[in-house]
């Protein structure tokens, strides 16, 4: 049962109907929890439900211990020493919780691939053959770490295991986010009410738009990307650049489509999940890109990695080191192949250049004014997007052998004549220039939407959205490929 699909639609309609039938808050909590378990049980990694439940209970207990106050009966003269001792114990408890979560994630994510790389193929193909990573474990773990750190920093711990379990296993966000902090979610639990018509329409609209992004755009673009990657030795320079451009669009529509469906499903149940994308391909700096792309991951990296490392509070050298460390860790999180490390290093280097440019602009105001001028903004946008789309090559081709072949053929390399026939004409019935113009038109439509929402502050009213809903669903159903591809971020 993968969203968007007919089966998922039937599941969502049934759950929403049962959820709003009874006014009891406790009943609704149990309905969400049971519904989330049913949803996860329909996935290929359903055997890991006990593991997720154990992790949920473990982090709940750790949170309760971390958030426990000191005994008020301690005499005043001993209070200072007791406080210092308790703070040390809390630090050890936090470290234990973070380490346990990280070890579990790394174990599933890297042990099996690492054994294969070391030559233990018989072990990987035998006892560990079924040891695939549970869907959603990365996002599940990140939320657990954020919860424990927030408790350590002074936020109240959850007092209800059912409420905490409902938060952790909430099905719309369980597999690929958005990463949601507990206290934001629990605050909504306490005041959830039946949504008005406008909110229901907005939820359905997000689901429909997500279906269009995923089925109509991402999956069709993905067929081109997959064929190009499979025929990489025959590709020319223009083909590789088109591959990077197409994959950037595919990744955006695929992941943002999932998040739209997740947010729309949550709205129908009275919850507002955080936004995860905000027109990232129109950002004018790499820092701005990370404030718009996978926004909840960027926030997590800032709050739980960058700031604890010192952020930008220290010297410019230390700030640059912190930026590189954070992005290298982001690369490692995405996968065990070197291409992801290179992708993270490219973004880390770009962030360092941006930070150094900002420091230079503080000393030389002319430079700052130059970047804020219309030509400067256009150049900044072009440089930012070139960096982003160039880095996608290593993201799509994480094997360094494939990535190095692409790098060698980036400029001045002619394609095998069979490449265009197989990849463009036979599969899409279009030539490379026509495909490029079609993808550029998609970017143009995004630019129009961006200008309407951010520039002119225009929004589509809910009655119009309601009228457009059948059209969106029809287009997604009719123009989607025969076989829907899995969401890309399920691999991470």
Residues 172 and 204 in one domain: no
Residues 182 and 228 in one domain: no
Spatial distance between the Cα atoms of 417 and 235, rounded to a whole number of angstroms: 9
pLDDT, one tens digit per residue, over 431-476 is 899 999 999 999 999 999 998 887 777 788 888 888 888 888 888 8
211, 4 in Cβ contact below 8 A? yes
End-of-domain residue from the set 194, 220, 249:
194
Nearest-5° Cα angle at 219, 343 to 490: 55
Residues 166 and 241 in one domain: no
What the block records as the tokens of 51 is 């593991």
End-of-domain residue from the set 141, 162, 194:
194
- Is there a domain that residue 127 lies in? yes
Spatial distance between the Cα atoms of 239 and 419, rounded to a whole number of angstroms: 9
Q: CA dihedral defined by 222, 10, 475, 434, rounded to 10 degrees?
A: 0
- 65 band by pLDDT with thresholds 50, 70 and 90: very high
Residues 139 and 178 in one domain: yes
Residues 312 and 448 in one domain: yes
Residues 208 and 187 in one domain: no
Q: What b/e sequence results for 461-480 when a residue is b if at least 16 CB atoms lie within 10 Å of its CB, and e otherwise?
A: ebeebbeebeebbeebeeeb
Q: What is the CA radius of gyration of the chain?
A: 24
Residues 232 and 181 in one domain: no
Number of other CB atoms surrounding residue 429 within 10 Å: 9
- Show Cβ contacts of residue 114 under 8 Å, excluding neighbours closer than 6 positions: 336
Residues 105 and 119 in one domain: yes
- Arithmetic mean of pLDDT over the chain: 87
Question: What's the average model confidence in pLDDT over 352-361?
Answer: 92
- Is there a domain that residue 1 lies in? no
**444 class by beta-carbon count within 10 Å (0-12 exposed, 13-18 middle, 19+ buried):** exposed
57 lies in which domain range? 6-194
Spatial distance between the Cα atoms of 21 and 315, rounded to a whole number of angstroms: 58
pLDDT, one tens digit per residue, over 19-55 is 998 888 888 899 999 999 999 998 888 888 999 999 9
Nearest to 298 by CA among 279, 322, 276: 276
Q: How far is CA 440 from CA 249, 251, 384, 390, 425, in A?
A: 10, 16, 17, 17, 19
Assign residue 310 a region (left: φ > 0; alpha: ψ between -120 and 50; beta: otherwise).
Answer: left
pLDDT, one tens digit per residue, over 268-325 is 999 999 999 999 999 999 999 999 999 999 999 999 999 999 888 888 999 999 999 9
What pLDDT, on a 0 to 100 scale, did the predictor assign at position 76? 63
pLDDT above 70: percentage of residues in the chain: 92
- Show Cβ contacts of residue 350 under 8 Å, excluding neighbours closer than 6 positions: 286, 387
- 70 band by pLDDT with thresholds 50, 70 and 90: low
What the block records as the tokens of 88 is 């040390």
**343 class by beta-carbon count within 10 Å (0-12 exposed, 13-18 middle, 19+ buried):** buried
Spatial distance between the Cα atoms of 84 and 64, rounded to a whole number of angstroms: 19
Residues 87 and 186 in one domain: yes
Q: Which of 294, 334, 347, 354 is catalytic?
A: 334
Active site residue 334: yes
- For residue 489, give the DSSP letter: G
- Show Cβ contacts of residue 324 under 8 Å, excluding neighbours closer than 6 positions: 345, 348, 349, 351, 352
Spatial distance between the Cα atoms of 120 and 162, rounded to a whole number of angstroms: 42
What the block records as the tokens of 240 is 């590789």
Nearest to 433 by CA among 286, 277, 245: 245
């Amino acid at each position: 049962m993968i969203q968007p699909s007919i089966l998922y639609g039937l599941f969502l309609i049934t759950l929403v109907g049962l959820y709003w039938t009874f006014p009891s808050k406790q009943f609704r909590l149990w309905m969400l929890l049971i519904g989330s378990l049913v949803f996860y049980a329909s996935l290929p990694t359903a055997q890991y439900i006990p593991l997720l439940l154990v992790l949920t209970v473990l982090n709940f207990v750790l949170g309760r211990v971390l958030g426990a106050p000191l005994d008020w009966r301690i005499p005043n003269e001993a209070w200072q020493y007791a406080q210092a001792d308790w703070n040390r114990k809390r630090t050890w408890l936090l470290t234990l919780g973070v380490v346990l979560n990280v070890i579990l994630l790394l174990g599933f994510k890297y042990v099996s691939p690492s054994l294969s790389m070391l030559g233990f193929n018989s072990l990987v193909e035998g006892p560990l053959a079924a040891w695939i990573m549970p869907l959603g474990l990365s996002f599940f773990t990140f939320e657990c770490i954020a919860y424990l750190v927030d408790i350590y920093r002074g936020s109240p711990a959850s007092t209800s295991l059912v409420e905490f379990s409902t938060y952790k296993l909430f099905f719309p966000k369980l597999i690929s986010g958005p990463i949601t902090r507990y206290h934001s979610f629990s605050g909504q639990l306490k005041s959830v009410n039946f949504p008005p018509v406008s909110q229901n329409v907005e939820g359905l609209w997000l689901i429909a738009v997500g279906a269009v992004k995923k089925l109509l755009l991402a999956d069709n673009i993905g067929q081109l990307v997959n064929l190009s990657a499979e025929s990489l030795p025959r590709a020319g320079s223009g083909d590789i650049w088109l591959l990077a451009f197409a994959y950037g669009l595919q990744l955006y529509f695929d992941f943002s489509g999932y998040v739209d469906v997740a947010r729309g499903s949550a709205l129908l149940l009275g919850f507002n999940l955080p936004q995860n994308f905000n027109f990232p391909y129109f950002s004018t700096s790499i820092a701005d890109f990370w404030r718009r792309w996978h926004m909840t991951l960027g926030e997590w990296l800032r709050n739980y990695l960058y700031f604890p490392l010192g952020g930008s509070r220290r010297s410019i050298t230390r700030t640059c080191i912190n930026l590189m460390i954070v992005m290298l860790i982001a690369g490692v999180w995405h996968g065990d192949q070197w291409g992801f490390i290179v992708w993270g290093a490219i973004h880390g280097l770009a962030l360092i250049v941006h930070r150094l440019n900002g420091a230079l602009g503080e000393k030389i105001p002319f430079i700052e004014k130059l970047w804020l001028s219309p030509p400067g903004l256009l150049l900044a946008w072009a440089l930012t997007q070139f960096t982003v789309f160039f880095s996608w090559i290593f993201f799509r081709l994480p094997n360094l052998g494939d990535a190095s072949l692409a790098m060698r053929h980036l400029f001045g390399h002619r394609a095998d004549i069979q490449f265009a026939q197989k990849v463009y004409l036979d599969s899409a019935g279009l030539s490379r220039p026509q495909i490029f113009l079609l993808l550029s038109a998609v970017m143009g439509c995004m630019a129009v939407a961006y200008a309407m929402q951010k520039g002119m502050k225009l929004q589509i009213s809910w009655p119009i959205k309601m009228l457009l809903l059948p059209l969106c669903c029809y287009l997604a159903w009719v123009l989607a490929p025969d076989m829907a591809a899995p969401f890309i971020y399920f691999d991470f």
